[in-house]
């Protein structure tokens, strides 16, 4: 697993803003995913998903600033 590819995908997705990150999390949970994860293996996409969920847990259920 390449941590730098995972970290790059996470950072790029996070730069899209709160609402889009939540949409990308949903897509990953449904077996789809944003373009940023297209070159990753399944376990790497799972790592991206887990990292995004951890980051977004800080914000609770709302996106106050986008």
User: Which pLDDT tens digit goes with each residue over 6-61?
Assistant: 999 999 999 999 999 999 999 999 999 999 999 999 999 999 999 999 999 988 87
* Residue boundaries of the structural domains of the chain: 3-57
- The whole-model pTM stands at 0.90
Q: Tokens standing for 44?
A: 């790497």
- Start-to-end CA distance of the chain, whole Å, equals 31
Distance CA 63, CA 61 (A): 7
CB hemisphere CA count around 14 (13 angstroms): 15
Q: pLDDT tens, 3-13? A: 899 999 999 99
DSSP 3-state of 63: coil
């Amino acid at each position: 697993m390449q941590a730098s590819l995972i970290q790059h995908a996470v950072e790029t997705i996070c730069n899209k803003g709160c609402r889009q990150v939540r949409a990308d999390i949903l897509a990953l949970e449904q077996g789809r995913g944003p373009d940023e994860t297209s070159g990753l293996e399944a376990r790497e996409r799972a790592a991206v998903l887990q990292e995004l969920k951890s980051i977004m847990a800080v914000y609770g259920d709302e996106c106050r600033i986008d």
